[in-house]
Amino acid sequence: MLKTNALPSESELQAMICLLDDTDQEVVEEVSKALLLRGPLVVPFLESAWIGDLPLIARERIEELIHQIQWNQCKEALLAWNLGDQEDLLTALIWIARIRYPDLDESELRNRLESLRIEIWMEMNPCMTALEKVRVINHVLFKIHGFRGNTANYNDPQNSCLNKVLESRKGNPIVLCCIYMWLATKMEMPVVGVNLPQHFILAYLNDVMEDISAPKALFYINAFNKGMVFGEKEIERFLELIHLPANPRYFRPCTHHDIVIRVLNNLIHGYSESGKHEASKELVELRDVLIEENPWRTLHPEDQTHPNTEENPGSEDADRHDLNDKNPDGFSDLD
């Protein structure tokens, strides 16, 4: 649960903030702890003080406090999501994006998604086949709005932040897939995520199945390549290309928890590549806690691998291959 400690009066807060440049380290630590306990409510006061006439050391301490408060808020929200039913993937993705963009406008983000949903809904009709429905989503998402894979800056942390992917219309495979999956689910289409190594994809199931361990996909979708569709043979060829066995888990639906861990892995990789090692370390610690404290992990023990092992789907790393550089046999280009 997020902290809800009572907020001191404005004058008390100002007095506490003024002590952040005290030469006595114990005083600074006690004041910092007191401010941290108040949580997000004190952030506006800290930001206002930072703009004011304060010594450099006080401004640096304020920056660290703001970061720690906002980090704690995101961390606690994700831990709470982890201990719940894990059904609301969108909320988890929003909290992950807030790690990098704490001032994220959630209403604007949801409105962007809703606008896309309405456009797609306007083009749908109940008599459409599965491929025809996919064609509609592909047309709206990729043709009209120009969503695409960010091949120029593949490891940019922004590619793992839902708000930025919606704004720029560029992202990595998994976040593009999450947008696609959310829209498809709203259309009552049985589209689910598949945790394929080095390239996250989607599966269109025969129907919505209760047993996630025995799925049957009509076909698969590559949201990173404009919604291209393909079959199991293409996945087998891809696995051969990256020297991995055709493990059944690479063909079947993954859980929302798997998706959250993989998005975090991508963010960790992006921060590491850009030299932000402290931020990367924080995310590693959070990811490991989410894995260890996942109440649902015993349901599929065969899928539990350490996030750093070679066979773990992990992230879309730099040593990647695209599934659909050419049109796969037996499927039409639905662009």
112 plus 248 within the same structural domain: yes
Q: What percent of the chain has pLDDT over 70?
A: 84
CATH label of the domain that carries residue 65 = 1.25.10
User: Does residue 271 lie within any of the structural domains?
Assistant: yes
- Stretch 213-221: mean pLDDT, rounded? 84
Check if the beta carbon of residue 273 is closer than 8 Å to that of residue 155: yes
User: Does residue 312 lie within any of the structural domains?
Assistant: no
How many Cα atoms occupy the beta-carbon half-sphere of 315 within 13 Å? 24
**Residue 320 clears pLDDT 90, i.e. is over it:** no
- Can you give the pLDDT at residue 267? 96
124 plus 169 within the same structural domain: yes
63 plus 111 within the same structural domain: no
201 plus 275 within the same structural domain: yes
**Residue 204 clears pLDDT 80, i.e. is over it:** yes
Query: What DSSP assignment string belongs to 141-189?
Result: IIIIS--EE--TTTT-GGGG-HHHHHHHSEE-HHHHHHHHHHHHHHTT-
**204 strand-pairing partners:** 191, 219
**228 strand-pairing partners:** 222
- Can you give the pLDDT at residue 6? 64
199 plus 289 within the same structural domain: yes
Report for 38-52, 227-241, 291-305: range of highest mean pLDDT:
227-241
Exposed / middle / buried, residue 297 (Cβ in 10 Å: 0-12, 13-18, 19+):
middle
Domain count, the chain: 2
149 plus 19 within the same structural domain: no
The secondary structure of residue 301, as a DSSP letter, is G
Per the listing, tokens 């921060």 go with 271
Condensed to tens digits (0 to 9), the pLDDT of residues 228-278 reads 999 999 999 999 999 999 999 999 999 999 999 999 999 999 999 999 999
- Which has more confidence, 130 or 12? 130
263: containing domain: 89-303
pTM value > 0.75 = yes
User: Does residue 61 lie within any of the structural domains?
Assistant: yes
73 plus 128 within the same structural domain: no
Condensed to tens digits (0 to 9), the pLDDT of residues 279-289 reads 999 999 999 99
